[in-house]
Amino acid sequence: MKRRNFIKITGLGIGGAALASGLVSCSDPTPEAHFGWNGPTNNDEDIRMRVLAYAILCPNPHNKQPWIIHLTGPASFNLHVDPDRLLPETDPVHRQIHIGQGTFLETLAIAASGLGYQANITYFPEGMYSNTELVSKPVAAIELTPATELKKDLLFDALLLRHSNKREYDHYRLTRSELETLRDAHQQRSGYALTVVDSPQGKTRLVEVLTEAMQIEVGNPQRDRETIEMFRFNDEEVRKFRDGFGVAQTGMSGMTKFVAERFFLNRKEVERDPTEFGKQAVDMTRKVAESTRTFAWLSSTGNSRLDQVKIGRDYCRINLQTTVMGLAQHPMSQVLQEYEEMTALQAEFKQSFNIPESETVQMLFRLGKAAPVAHGPRRLVTQLIQSV
């Protein structure tokens, strides 16, 4: 059987993994069994480590985990962007990376509330830099203070359950009540716009836009290689790197996963000729978009680094809220990327949905229902921590 036919028959979804545009305790005795998704252990007495064990579970672009922690006190630390964990081809101005700083901060704050602490967050304590550069300054300074009167955030219990679901959905359209719940939860904490599209006409146009965006992305060898670099072809790579994504995140498991990874997936072959990988990415993009009836995006009138970080916090809460509601969520933000080849399609997308040219759509995602998929692996907390 040819590799491409096996992929199509089994629904392997290499392209689905390529869509991933979604910390473990330092005293973890069996880290490879769960790759961080059991949260901190009872042996962790350091509140910083306990909070960080949750924070690393946040959604982030390509599961790059682009964070560095500088410990500054017994209950304080600074968050920095890791300059060695960027996506220069698909995220050339590091907008998505900064959204990933926001998801980290929101998860951290929610975790702190569940552990009896308040996370006091100061954004860019040494000054904010422009949205076209990356400067070696902290994104945030965090101080954890005991807060016995602080109520546990209602989303705390979803922290270990949340994931980005890249499966095909079951064509479920969110009800008016579900949309109201999402909007109300969002508006209580955010000043940024949440737009929902669930009309047949809107869906048809989005399927076209999202599919074409993926065609543009994989049409460039450097961008394609950037995604392939983060794809984990087998369990050995997952254990070695503890980041990225693979077939498990598209829903494949058991014997099918074993056979696919053992006999039909080969990094050297794909890197030598990524043509089929790219075709599958486009095919899977169309399929997952066609299986979805409700899409949404977050947009801002400004596009500063602070806007991006705050949008990340909002996106994280939406993902946790949909988890509580039993819904699936998956970012599909290729059309929002800032490289030159995407400019024309991005303008068409905005025009199609009457989005002002001056606004920045920061996150575009789909919502629906689907069986859960495996969590993406996370590194150890200690791998984030660097000396000042």
Q: What is the pLDDT of residues 80-126, one digit of tens each?
A: 999 999 999 999 999 999 999 999 999 999 999 999 999 999 999 99
pLDDT higher than threshold 60 for residue 10: no
Q: Model confidence at 154, in pLDDT bands (50, 70, 90)?
A: very high
Give Cβ neighbours of residue 258 (< 8 Å, ≥ 6 apart): none
What's the predicted TM-score (pTM) here? 0.91
Q: How far is CA 72 from CA 65, 76, 337, 354, 386, in A?
A: 21, 5, 35, 46, 11
Q: Model confidence at 366, in pLDDT bands (50, 70, 90)?
A: very high
Percentage of residues in the chain with pLDDT exceeding 90? 78
pLDDT higher than threshold 50 for residue 164: yes
* Mean pLDDT (whole number) for 300-305: 99
What's the whole-number average pLDDT of the chain? 90
Percentage of residues in the chain with pLDDT exceeding 70? 88
* Mean pLDDT (whole number) for 228-241: 90
Q: Model confidence at 253, in pLDDT bands (50, 70, 90)?
A: low
260: exposed, middle or buried (Cβ count in 10 Å: 0-12, 13-18, 19+): buried
The pLDDT value given to residue 18: 36
pLDDT higher than threshold 90 for residue 197: yes
Q: Model confidence at 263, in pLDDT bands (50, 70, 90)?
A: low
* Mean pLDDT (whole number) for 369-377: 95
Domains and their CATH numbers in the chain: 3-11+162-368 (3.40.109.10), 18-161+376-383 (3.40.109.30)
Q: What gap in Å lies between CA 246 and CA 237, rounded to an integer?
A: 10
Q: Which of 84, 80, 71 is nearest to 143 (CA)?
A: 71
Report helix, strand or coil for 149: coil
The pLDDT value given to residue 43: 80
pLDDT higher than threshold 90 for residue 207: yes
pLDDT higher than threshold 90 for residue 159: yes
Q: How far is CA 84 from CA 64, 81, 296, 364, in A?
A: 10, 9, 31, 26
- 74-88, 251-265, 267-281: range with highest mean pLDDT: 74-88
pLDDT higher than threshold 50 for residue 1: no
Q: What gap in Å lies between CA 171 and CA 297, rounded to an integer?
A: 19
